[in-house]
Amino acid sequence: MTTQDKINVFLEIVHQVKRLDPVNVRKWFDELVLVQFDGGLLEIGCPDEASAQFLQDNCLAGFTQSAQNITGHLVSVKFSVSRSQLSETYDDLSQGSLKLHPNYTFENFIVGPCNRLAQASCLAVSQSPGEAYNPLFLYGNDGLGKTHLLHAVCHRIREKLLNASILFLSCEEFVNRFIRAIEQGKLDDFQRRMRTVDILIIDDIQFLQEREQSQEEFFHTFNALYNNQKQIMLAANCAPGELPSLEEALINRFKWGLVARLDAPGYETRTAIVQKKAHLRGLSISEEIAGYIARKVKSNVRELEGALTIIYATAKASDSQITLELAQQALGDKDVIDERHISIIEISNAVTKYFDVRLADLQSKNRSQNIALPRQICMYLARNLTIHSLEEIGGYFGRYDQATVLDASDWIDNLRQTEPKMNSLIQEVTKQITQDEQNINIAENASFSLKLRIEIAEFVDHEKVADSIIKVCRALNAYHIACGGNGLIIDDWETYVPEEQLAEKF
């Protein structure tokens, strides 16, 4: 395997672990690097001791399994704090040790309507730091190119202004350095270091939330740099105003310069990105395949890259060319696997258990917060994890219409982006759903996962008929039923009601 092959396989392994074990995924997973991959040993470099220990305790089996799945060989996995050439971690540029990602340049950044303002403002900042926009605040969902643009600014400044001192830190690094400085009684050094740079770049600034002392320290750093017309660049996964646990004075300052949003790229931009990424990996793929991938993966550029890696790994494993059929097989199967196992009943089971509420309450019109939120979460998960239509989902969770399901689902989606707690809650419930052995057994048994759909459109008064069916089913302890617009769904009904018994009742 060439080095690039090894890196691709490594990225694919990390991607698979993220997908199969979302609860254990941490923000710094993106900072993991490949140290070595030789003789059946995969050594993964972690940002620090704590993350290496975390992986050793929680993710060793996941990495080992994924490595075996992808390479087809037994691989022994080791976590260390070593760094490789491709480290994406942030360090002190002025000390010459920042390892900028070599591909995160302006040249490799595809511009479209979704990111034009962000790209143009970064370019302007790299041309005249401290003058164009100060501070420059980039925000957008994960995987839309914020870190890429920050690296691009550093590349460009480093080319042009050799003497400029740049400090590029992840927010966590800022906080950790601050804590270390206090512990070691070296706060003065820390402050001098932070406040005398020409350009301060902090990525993922949302992590400053709920860290009051660090916020205060950053506030003073900000003021000192700003007053000296030094450039400040920040990136976050949401707008300044959507960082509620940050001090208002800080939020206001974030808006003093330019706030630029990155949106999910449209089809054309996605296609161009796929082609660019393929090119960077030395692959040539046709426009048709690039278009296919772009249609398949819509929300996030990182996932677009993941799709490309899966296709690449599939081609490599079968030693074949990348054709449209191969791409379809590589990505298509993935969806089938995702959808096959999960039924609406597994979702409602996991959510009712998590919130300690009754399914009957979720299926009622009760709009109190402690019932409405779990119901909204159910709708969101059902929309994303099952093959049911909006109408069916609305019907199942208490005869709500399609618009309500859509609103609920978007609302939860939004909360996931802005509130880390909601994100981990969803991850935990999703894990419950996918890991509950009993559920998986039921889902895997085709006869149980079959949904019985009784079309009752021909009944004159179908609402009334549906009601009486529901009553009968309830009497038989078959709670998992729902009335859709023109039909009735009994989900996994064989589990609860023997067919003859139900027939008898009618």
In this complex, which beta carbon is closest to Mg ion, that of residue 172 or of residue 346? Answer: 172
Residue 18 binds which entry of Mg ion, ligand ADP, none, CB below 5-8 Å type-dependent? none
* Cβ neighbour number for residue 183 with a 10 Å cutoff: 9
SS3 156: helix
CA atoms of 98 and 465, how far apart (whole Å): 69
- Residue 47 contact among Mg ion, ligand ADP, none, beta carbon within 5 to 8 Å by kind: none
- Compute the least distance from the CB of residue 71 to ligand ADP, in Å: 23
Q: How far is the CB of 177 from ligand ADP (least distance, A)?
A: 21
The encoded tokens of residue 314 equal 């599939």
- CB nearest Mg ion: which residue? 147
Nearest to 101 by CA among 90, 110, 92, 112: 90
Helix residue ranges, H only, 368-435: 369-385, 390-396, 402-418, 420-435
Query: Within positions 367 to 386, which residues make up the interface with Mg ion, using CB under 5 A?
Result: none
Name which of 297 and 466 has its Cβ closer to ligand ADP: 297
Which residues contact ligand ADP (rule: CB under 6 A)? 104, 108-110, 115, 140, 142-148, 273, 276, 301-302, 305
Find tokens 């692959």 and name the residue. Answer: 283
Residue 377 partner contact from Mg ion, ligand ADP, none using kind-dependent CB cut-offs of 5 to 8 Å = none
| Min dist. Cβ of residue 143 to ligand ADP (A) | 5
Site string for Mg ion, 343-372 (x = CB under 5 A): ------------------------------
- DSSP state for residue 136 in the 8-state scheme: E
Residue 148 contact, options Mg ion, ligand ADP, none, Cβ 5-8 Å cut-off depending on partner type: ligand ADP
What residues contact 428, with CB distance under 8 A and at least 6 apart?
23, 354
Partner that binds at residue 109, options ligand ADP, Mg ion, none, CB closer than 5 to 8 Å by kind? ligand ADP
Nearer to ligand ADP, 84 or 389 (CB): 84
Report, in Å, the least distance between residue 442 CB and Mg ion.
39
Smallest distance, ligand ADP to C-beta of residue 123, A: 13
What gap in Å lies between CA 244 and CA 198, rounded to an integer? 29
Residues β-bridged to residue 33: 45
Closest CA to 237 of 273, 217, 207, 269: 207
In the chain, what's the furthest Cα-to-Cα distance? 86
Residue 490 sits at φ, ψ, to 5 deg, of -115, 110
Considering the complex, what minimum distance in angstroms separates the CB of residue 110 from Mg ion?
17
Minimum CB separation of residue 155 from ligand ADP in Å reads 13
* 147 touches Mg ion (CB under 5 A): yes
Give the residue with the Cβ less far from ligand ADP, 142 or 413.
142
- By beta-carbon proximity to ligand ADP, the closer residue of 261 and 316 is 261
Which runs of consecutive H residues, i.e. helices, occur in 161-203? 171-183, 187-195
Cα–Cα distances in angstroms (integers) from residue 96 to residues 92, 100, 167, 291, in the given order: 7, 10, 10, 40
Complex with ligand ADP: residue 12 or 305, whichever CB lies closer: 305
> Minimum CB separation from ligand ADP for residue 424, in Å?
18
Q: Which residues are CB-contacts of 235 (< 8 A; sequence separation ≥ 6)?
A: 137, 138, 139, 146, 147, 149, 150, 202, 203, 204, 205
Number of shown-chain residues binding Mg ion (CB under 5 A): 2
Are the C-beta atoms of 265 and 118 separated by less than 8 Å? no
Q: How far is the CB of 314 from ligand ADP (least distance, A)?
A: 20
Choose the one of Mg ion, ligand ADP, none that binds residue 104, judging by a C-beta under 5 to 8 angstroms depending on kind.
ligand ADP
66 scored as a contact of Mg ion (CB under 5 A):
no
Among residues 142 and 242, whose Cβ is nearest to ligand ADP? 142
Strand, coil or helix: 454: strand
Which residue type does 227 have?
N
In three-state secondary structure terms, 3 is helix
Length of the chain as a residue count: 506
Q: Is 348:378 a contact under the CB 8 Å cutoff?
A: yes
Which is nearest to 172 in space by CA: 29, 34, 270?
29
Using Cβ positions, the residue closest to ligand ADP within the complex turns out to be 145
Smaller CB separation from Mg ion, 125 or 144: 144
Q: Which does 145 bind (CB under 5 to 8 A by kind): Mg ion, ligand ADP, none?
A: ligand ADP
Smallest distance from the beta carbon of 109 to Mg ion, in angstroms? 14
Query: Is residue 237 a contact partner of residue 204, using CB atoms and an 8 Å limit?
Result: yes
Shortest distance, position 300 Cβ to ligand ADP, whole Å: 8
Q: Give the distance from CA 386 to its chain's centroid.
A: 19
- Shortest approach of Mg ion to residue 330 CB, angstroms? 26
167's contact among Mg ion, ligand ADP, none, with CB below 5 to 8 A by partner kind, is none
When asked if residue 115 is in the footprint of Mg ion (CB under 5 A), the reply is: no
Q: Which window, 98-106, 140-148, 258-266, 411-419, contacts Mg ion (CB under 5 A)?
A: 140-148
- CA-wise closest residue to 4 among 318, 276, 317, 312: 312
* Closer by beta carbon to Mg ion, 209 or else 348: 209
> Is residue 137 helix, strand or coil?
strand
Dist. CA 9–CA 35, nearest whole Å: 13
Task: Choose between 20 and 238: whose C-beta lies nearer to ligand ADP.
Answer: 238
Please identify, using beta-carbon distances, which residue of 26 and 302 lies nearer to ligand ADP: 302
Residues binding Mg ion (CB under 5 A):
146-147
